[in-house]
Chain A
Amino acid sequence: MEKELVALALDVIEREGASYGDCRFVRIEEETIHMENGRIDTLRRDEDQGVGIRVIKDGAWGFAATAKLTKEDIERTAKLAIKVANASKRLKNKDVVLAPTEKVADTYCTPFTSDPFLIPLTKKIDLLLSCDTIMRKVKGIKQRRGELYFYKKFQIFASTEDSLIEQTIYHTGGYIEALAVKGNVTGQRSYPGMRGHYKSAGYEFIESLKFTDNAQRVAEEAVALTTARECPEMTTTVILDGSMVAIQIHETVGHPTELDRVLGTEVSLAGTSHLTPDKRGNFKFGSEIVTISADATIPGGLGTFGYDDEGTKASVSYLIKDGIFTGYLTSRETAAVFQEKSNGTMRAQSFGFIPLIRMTNINLLPQKGKLEEIIADTKEGIYFESAGSPSIDDKRLNYHISSEIGWLIKNGKKTEIIRRPAYSGISYEIWRNCDAICGPEEWEVWGVPNCGKGDPTQIAHVGHGASPARFRNVKVGK
């Protein structure tokens, strides 16, 4: 039935004079299980479905979407998309041009072993409660939390250029967290990363995380943080764990290389970018060991798919190569500005949102060595673990990123724990000061399930492959 509705929408917009149109039927199923202090306080099964119709008429864009799935509603919504395009042409300076793309008829499904929606709820609940039991036994713990999250997206994409693509994407993840309180000081520790680790995978990923094996350590470190001193204000060497490198990539490489914001179309919310087109191919963004790709094809990434929401095939491209800024994340419309082809990064949160350029998996390519070797090779500095909250200016230059926990490094050894350390600076300076990146054995694709962009704000699931890395001369403190 959904295919018929999609075909109907395309018929209507062609009949109404659209020069281009695409239609997405999207159904998203989510299951969220949240535990707090031994109580399952949230058990939700949510379903989101509807049709989004995008058109170009007389060189201007229109978009309309509805959750109502009768033929009459689809026809009405398709006509509304045309009406919206007619209103858009009031303010245009030239016709929208799309870079060419291949006509595709294909299907794609996330590879997985175990469908998370078929795993009994009791098994998932028991896992969270087992973690709770372990964390509760640690003296000083006041709050225990945990969450498992499962996501399944089925989408039919069809366009007036005769593409027809069906995709089914699974995302799976979760976290556990302990909070200790002593006087007015709280110590918060979570696993894995901060507030979770997510992959395009099935339930096998949850099992691989070994939550119960880590619950006691998490709780003990939370207690230790209540008596830990705050991070001293200084400029020093910083070693970031993989989850923190992932956030560093996200904020300082992923967002500023989105070509839509570079061209000004995200000013109303997110801002612009310092990585302007004149810098492409000649701006020294990082040290020579820094190479960063956009890769929607790697297994496990939250930015892994078969085709983007314009029907462009998933691909690999380079944003930073040997330290030089080389490329952007693009769409068909933005790529056409530079007479290029889209590298396939357009995604919408659901049927009711217009596709935007979104990060796929933005990956720092591994070099060599293990974390312990880099620490052993560091005379003085701070090791940061579990990415906390980031903040960055609207051109993506001045950043501030905090973490849950850090350790002072002295003479090649982790020594004293420090509480909620943060580091800050100018984005290209930290990458220019990167002098060590761990090897493939420490490399992991981290999932960020809450990347915000657009207006109205859309939440995207994106990925970042990273291994721990070392940066010199970084300002640390609060």
Chain B
Amino acid sequence: MIDKTKTKEYLDLIIKMKDIEAIEGGLFYSEKGTTRFANSIIHQNMVVEDPWLWIRGVDKKRVCGVSTKDFRKEGIERALGKLKEAIKEVRPDKDFPGLPKRPKGFRLKKTAEPEFIDPEQRGEAVAKMVKVCKKYHLNAFGVLHSTRLALGVANSNGIFNYGTNGINFVSITAMGNGASGYAVDTKSHFNDIDFVNLAEIACEKALLSKNPREIEPGKYTVLLEEPAVGEMLMFLAWLEFGAKRFREKSSILSKRIGKYITGKNITLYDDFRHPEMIGFSFDFEGYPKSAVDLIKNGKAKGVVLDSFYARLLKKKNTGHALPQPSSGGPIPINLIMKNGEEKKEEMLKEIDKGILVTRFWYVRVVDPDKTLITGMTRDGTFFIEKGKIAYPIKNMRFTINIYETLSRVRKISQERKLYGEDIFFLLAPALLIDEFNFASKTEY
């Protein structure tokens, strides 16, 4: 890890630079241990230490960014030299609001240094999952990432913030006889993951998935499990909850503030403080993050902002900047869907005829004007009859309008899962949805 003191030393080298009116420095440190396994053996295993330093300079409203991974004094000086050289050629940006100032009364959330997970510990966890799969004569495939992150941001307006996060992500796919089952988990602490239980879930699904039947595409009631809901919400976050498309009025939400946009049972917000969430308490401009209501009880409420869009939209900065300069605009990176009251197993019992979807795959936007997306089901798709899993079915392609789909949510689960990696996370429940559109089928 690069600790707070060392981070400040690096960033001080940057922000004390003369000849440039205002300057911002950021340090993003990532140390990722990854163990990938397939056919029940470890086939890729690694530790990658990858710190990254970025600098944004402003001179007479001319803005330019550089970055480097060379942390030696000469490396940082070379980056600063590139910045000075480039900034002369840039045209002034009349909309640039200046670097953020340190807000009053902000207290940084203290974070302990995340634990280092040794390659042996990762190997042991994978061995536990492989053992479960072998018990059922299945092969284990998957990945285990243990990541330690540190973020420090400073600017010449007096901002300096530093924080750390630990992230442990595991996915397991149990496979055999052409069938597959999937389970996933993300936790801040390695020991909070129950690897054996995850492998049991994946194996149960794989065993249930043997000899899938083909059903015709069409509209079905579905029970989308948490990873499938997470995938759908990720696209909504990107298309609808950022300030850029809001300001352009190209998002649907931008035209419906205060009006119903989904069913009344849908509430979505961004909040890094949620106990199950992983996130930094400030953004990539060093500005403190606020909780932001996006959709509340079905009504469109707002979007997340950074310093640039806060000024353009004459609103308070919510602290959602990504590394700058960037053309993408801010997006929510700690997205939460409010959970419901029923257990997933109770929701299943309410389905007379329908489909259970474990996860989606390769989801893409077809028409952003309608939040129309398409994608495939994968690793555990089942037909439900009279409240029970009746038989496995072959995978299908869905094509849905996300807002319309969220207007047909009958039930929301009590259980939620954290979904995501590195800096983007969302906490998603399972959803029982009517008239979910499957457009076509595949061969397995």
Using a CB–CB cutoff of 8 Å, the interface residues on chain A facing chain B are 34, 36, 39-50, 52, 60-69, 77, 80, 83-88, 90-93, 120-122, 125, 142-143, 145, 147, 179, 181, 184-186, 263-269, 271, 274, 352-354, 389-395, 397-398, 400, 402, 420, 422, 424, 426, 455-456, 475, 478
Knowing A40-B90, A43-B64, A352-B48 are in contact, say whether A93-B367 is a contact too (CB < 8 A).
Answer: no
Give chain A residues whose Cβ lies under 8 Å from the Cβ of B82: 45
**Whole-angstrom CA separation of A266 from B119 in the bound complex:** 20
Tell me, rounded to whole Å, the shortest Cβ–Cβ distance linking A90 to chain B.
5
The reply to whether B123 and A88 contact each other, CB–CB distance below 8 Å, is yes
The reply to whether B367 and A420 contact each other, CB–CB distance below 8 Å, is yes
Knowing A45-B82, A47-B67, A88-B123 are in contact, say whether A181-B442 is a contact too (CB < 8 A).
Answer: no
Give chain A residues whose Cβ lies under 8 Å from the Cβ of B40: 91, 93
Any chain A CB within 8 A of the CB of B299? Answer: no
In residues 114-128 of chain B, which contact A (Cβ within 8 Å)?
Answer: 118-120, 122-124, 126-127
Q: Which of B39, B51, B325 contacts A42 (CB 8 A)?
A: B325
**Whole-angstrom CA separation of A67 from B28 in the bound complex:** 13
Give chain B residues whose Cβ lies under 8 Å from the Cβ of A391: 362-364, 374-376, 397
Tell me, rounded to whole Å, the shortest Cβ–Cβ distance linking A469 to chain B.
22
Knowing A60-B42, A400-B397, A420-B367 are in contact, say whether A426-B143 is a contact too (CB < 8 A).
Answer: no
Tell me, rounded to whole Å, the shortest Cβ–Cβ distance linking A178 to chain B.
13
Any chain A CB within 8 A of the CB of B191? Answer: no
Any chain A CB within 8 A of the CB of B136? Answer: no
Q: Which of B175, B248, B378 contacts A143 (CB 8 A)?
A: B248
Any chain A CB within 8 A of the CB of B34? Answer: yes
**Whole-angstrom CA separation of A44 from B52 in the bound complex:** 14
Nearest A residue (CB) for B69? A67
Using a CB–CB cutoff of 8 Å, the interface residues on chain B facing chain A are 32, 34-52, 63-72, 79, 82-83, 86, 89-91, 93, 95, 118-120, 122-124, 126-127, 130, 139, 141-143, 145, 171, 173, 175, 248-250, 252, 255, 325-327, 361-369, 372, 374-376, 378, 395, 397, 399, 421, 439-444
The reply to whether B397 and A424 contact each other, CB–CB distance below 8 Å, is yes
Give chain B residues whose Cβ lies under 8 Å from the Cβ of A67: 49-52, 69-71
The reply to whether A268 and B38 contact each other, CB–CB distance below 8 Å, is yes
Give chain A residues whose Cβ lies under 8 Å from the Cβ of B49: 65-68, 77
Give chain A residues whose Cβ lies under 8 Å from the Cβ of B63: 43
Tell me, rounded to whole Å, the shortest Cβ–Cβ distance linking B9 to chain A.
15
Given contacts A40-B91, A42-B65, A67-B49, list 17 more A-B pairs with CB under 8 A. A45-B86, A47-B66, A62-B46, A64-B48, A65-B47, A87-B123, A88-B119, A90-B120, A91-B123, A92-B41, A125-B91, A184-B255, A186-B250, A393-B442, A395-B444, A398-B443, A475-B440
Tell me, rounded to whole Å, the shortest Cβ–Cβ distance linking A115 to chain B.
15
Q: Which of A48, A62, A77, A185 contacts B69 (CB 8 A)?
A: A48
**Whole-angstrom CA separation of A44 from B442 in the bound complex:** 43
**Whole-angstrom CA separation of A91 from B82 in the bound complex:** 47
Residue from B35, B252, B376 having most chain A Cβ neighbours under 10 A: B376
Tell me, rounded to whole Å, the shortest Cβ–Cβ distance linking A106 to chain B.
27
Give chain B residues whose Cβ lies under 8 Å from the Cβ of A90: 42, 120, 123-124, 127
Tell me, rounded to whole Å, the shortest Cβ–Cβ distance linking B213 to chain A.
17
Cross-chain pairs A/B with CB under 8 angstroms, 20 sampled: A34-B327, A36-B327, A41-B327, A43-B64, A47-B66, A50-B50, A52-B48, A61-B42, A61-B44, A66-B48, A67-B71, A68-B51, A77-B49, A92-B41, A184-B252, A263-B39, A389-B366, A392-B362, A398-B376, A475-B440
The reply to whether B38 and A121 contact each other, CB–CB distance below 8 Å, is no
The 10 closest A-B pairs by CB, nearest first: A87-B119, A267-B141, A398-B442, A63-B46, A389-B364, A121-B89, A67-B69, A87-B123, A268-B143, A34-B327
The reply to whether A264 and B38 contact each other, CB–CB distance below 8 Å, is yes
The reply to whether A265 and B127 contact each other, CB–CB distance below 8 Å, is no
The reply to whether A45 and B361 contact each other, CB–CB distance below 8 Å, is no
**Whole-angstrom CA separation of A26 from B271 in the bound complex:** 38
Tell me, rounded to whole Å, the shortest Cβ–Cβ distance linking B139 to chain A.
8
Knowing A395-B444, A456-B145 are in contact, say whether A80-B47 is a contact too (CB < 8 A).
Answer: yes
Nearest B residue (CB) for A269? B143
Nearest B residue (CB) for A126? B91
Give chain A residues whose Cβ lies under 8 Å from the Cβ of B248: 142-143
Give chain B residues whose Cβ lies under 8 Å from the Cβ of A66: 48-50
Q: Which of B86, B378, B443 contacts A397 (CB 8 A)?
A: B443
**Whole-angstrom CA separation of A213 from B364 in the bound complex:** 31
The reply to whether B369 and A264 contact each other, CB–CB distance below 8 Å, is no
Give chain A residues whose Cβ lies under 8 Å from the Cβ of B250: 143, 179, 181, 186
Give chain A residues whose Cβ lies under 8 Å from the Cβ of B34: 455-456
The reply to whether A393 and B361 contact each other, CB–CB distance below 8 Å, is yes
Give chain A residues whose Cβ lies under 8 Å from the Cβ of B37: 91, 268
Give chain B residues whose Cβ lies under 8 Å from the Cβ of A145: 327
Residue from B50, B368, B440 having most chain A Cβ neighbours under 10 A: B50
The reply to whether B47 and A64 contact each other, CB–CB distance below 8 Å, is yes
Nearest A residue (CB) for B47? A64
Nearest B residue (CB) for A265? B38
Give chain B residues whose Cβ lies under 8 Å from the Cβ of A80: 47
Tell me, rounded to whole Å, the shortest Cβ–Cβ distance linking B168 to chain A.
14
**Whole-angstrom CA separation of A142 from B254 in the bound complex:** 16
Give chain B residues whose Cβ lies under 8 Å from the Cβ of A46: 66-68
Give chain B residues whose Cβ lies under 8 Å from the Cβ of A143: 248, 250
Give chain A residues whose Cβ lies under 8 Å from the Cβ of B367: 420, 478
Give chain A residues whose Cβ lies under 8 Å from the Cβ of B143: 268-269, 455
Give chain B residues whose Cβ lies under 8 Å from the Cβ of A41: 93, 325-327
Give chain B residues whose Cβ lies under 8 Å from the Cβ of A40: 90-91, 93
Tell me, rounded to whole Å, the shortest Cβ–Cβ distance linking B43 to chain A.
5
**Whole-angstrom CA separation of A87 from B86 in the bound complex:** 46
Tell me, rounded to whole Å, the shortest Cβ–Cβ distance linking B190 to chain A.
15
The reply to whether A87 and B45 contact each other, CB–CB distance below 8 Å, is yes
**Whole-angstrom CA separation of A49 from B69 in the bound complex:** 6
The reply to whether A264 and B39 contact each other, CB–CB distance below 8 Å, is yes
Knowing A92-B41, A181-B250, A391-B375 are in contact, say whether A43-B325 is a contact too (CB < 8 A).
Answer: yes
**Whole-angstrom CA separation of A274 from B127 in the bound complex:** 29
Nearest B residue (CB) for A60? B42
Nearest B residue (CB) for A425? B440
Tell me, rounded to whole Å, the shortest Cβ–Cβ distance linking A450 to chain B.
13
Give chain A residues whose Cβ lies under 8 Å from the Cβ of B72: 69
Tell me, rounded to whole Å, the shortest Cβ–Cβ distance linking B86 to chain A.
6
**Whole-angstrom CA separation of A354 from B143 in the bound complex:** 14
The reply to whether B86 and A121 contact each other, CB–CB distance below 8 Å, is yes
Give chain B residues whose Cβ lies under 8 Å from the Cβ of A120: 89
The reply to whether B36 and A455 contact each other, CB–CB distance below 8 Å, is yes
Nearest A residue (CB) for B144? A268
Give chain B residues whose Cβ lies under 8 Å from the Cβ of A179: 250
The reply to whether B42 and A268 contact each other, CB–CB distance below 8 Å, is no
**Whole-angstrom CA separation of A164 from B116 in the bound complex:** 34
**Whole-angstrom CA separation of A50 from B249 in the bound complex:** 42
Tell me, rounded to whole Å, the shortest Cβ–Cβ distance linking A228 to chain B.
13
Give chain A residues whose Cβ lies under 8 Å from the Cβ of B252: 184
Give chain B residues whose Cβ lies under 8 Å from the Cβ of A69: 70, 72
Give chain B residues whose Cβ lies under 8 Å from the Cβ of A455: 34, 36, 143, 145
Tell me, rounded to whole Å, the shortest Cβ–Cβ distance linking B46 to chain A.
4
The reply to whether A63 and B45 contact each other, CB–CB distance below 8 Å, is yes
Give chain A residues whose Cβ lies under 8 Å from the Cβ of B139: 264
The reply to whether B376 and A393 contact each other, CB–CB distance below 8 Å, is yes
Nearest B residue (CB) for A125? B91
**Whole-angstrom CA separation of A444 from B180 in the bound complex:** 40
**Whole-angstrom CA separation of A183 from B69 in the bound complex:** 46
Q: Which of B64, B362, B366, B376 contacts A422 (CB 8 A)?
A: B366
The reply to whether B86 and A181 contact each other, CB–CB distance below 8 Å, is no
The reply to whether B36 and A268 contact each other, CB–CB distance below 8 Å, is yes
Give chain B residues whose Cβ lies under 8 Å from the Cβ of A422: 366
Tell me, rounded to whole Å, the shortest Cβ–Cβ distance linking B360 to chain A.
10
**Whole-angstrom CA separation of A353 from B369 in the bound complex:** 37
The reply to whether A354 and B364 contact each other, CB–CB distance below 8 Å, is no
The reply to whether A42 and B326 contact each other, CB–CB distance below 8 Å, is yes
Nearest B residue (CB) for A96? B43
Residue from B45, B91, B442 having most chain A Cβ neighbours under 10 A: B45
